[in-house]
Amino acid sequence: MKRLLAVMSAALFASGTVFAQSSVVVTPDSSDTSGSTVVVPGDVTTYVTGQEVPSVTYEGDIAVGSALPSSVEVYPVPSNSDYAYTIINKKRVIVNPHTHKIIEIVK
């Protein structure tokens, strides 16, 4: 019985270690949970801050890494097709135009 408990404890400890190694902290410069860092070019941020589009009321999470529903209209950044933007609850966000994941919340 003690041996079974020791084996189960070791397995639980090892699985916790695996989760700790594979978990990712999503930072404001991250567009996905794969661990790759995205640095939004300054000209994209400058463009987004200068645009006036209607703010959309949204009940979900507005956080880096969260995906907006496809029903939320996003606007392309003409100089860079890797980015789009919208305004959600009066907050400007830069998103991936294909996945609608929030890449950055513009301050």
What DSSP string describes 37-70?
-----HHHHHHHHT---PEEP--S--STTPBPPT
Name the residue with higher pLDDT: 1 or 78.
78
Degrees to nearest 5, angle at CA 54 with 48 and 59 = 100
pLDDT digits (tens, 9 = 90+) for 41-87: 999 999 999 999 999 999 988 999 999 999 999 999 999 999 999 99
Please report, for the chain, the start and end positions of each structural domain, with discontinuous segments joined by +.
27-105
Residue 2, token pair as written in the block: 């003690």
Provide CB contacts within 8 A for 18, sequence distance 6+.
none
DSSP lists the bridge partners of residue 84 as: 76, 95
